[in-house]
Amino acid sequence: MNFSAESLAILGGALALAGGLGGAAAGMAMAGYSGIAILAEEPKYLKSVIILAALPMSRVFYGFIILIFVLTTVTPKIAAMPDPGGAGFAVAACSIISASAFLFSGIYQGNVCSAGISSLIKTNGKILTNSIMLAVFVELIAVLGLVFTIMALSLLNLM
């Protein structure tokens, strides 16, 4: 059977959100392991652990932004084209950029946060700011994945 260009575009949007969900779950879990180990020793660091373990969650919302863009803007544009041709597959390919950006940055940001959490006791909680700063470097990859996907869709005249 033939798949239309719109449905391939929606497949792309769903792929981006799936990458974001997977990255966020894996990253938060990795930070969570060391969080539990630290809290078993010193329960007073609960606030810092919660802050660091929640950082990878933003991927979910970035992925959702891509899906919303595809559903509200890209799909109507493709439907209005007289001959969409390969436009649907192009959107699916652009979403693979953001899906892998969200997945990998989520997992590895979880590792950075986990390293920060495991040094909380030794530094009396002072490492919090520095580890947020280093985690934001990895966050930047996810933001750039979002921005570049939107840029690629605009260059394709689909937004």
Compute the distance between CA of residue 108 and CA of residue 124 in angstroms, rounded to an integer: 24
**Number of residues in contact with other proteins, rule: CB under 8 A?**
41
CA atoms within 13 A on the CB side of 158: 29
What's the rounded Cα separation, in Å, for the pair 118 and 122? 8
* Amino acid occupying residue 62: Y
Interface with other proteins, residue 81, by CB under 8 A:
no
When asked if residue 52 is in the footprint of other proteins (CB under 8 A), the reply is no
Chosen residue from 26, 66, 74, 128 binding other proteins by CB under 8 A = 26
What would the two tokens of residue 149 be? 């996907």
Interface residue list for other proteins (CB under 8 A): 1, 3-4, 6-8, 10-11, 13-15, 17-18, 21-22, 24-26, 28-30, 32-33, 35-37, 39-40, 43, 46, 49-50, 53-54, 57, 60, 64, 67-68, 71-72
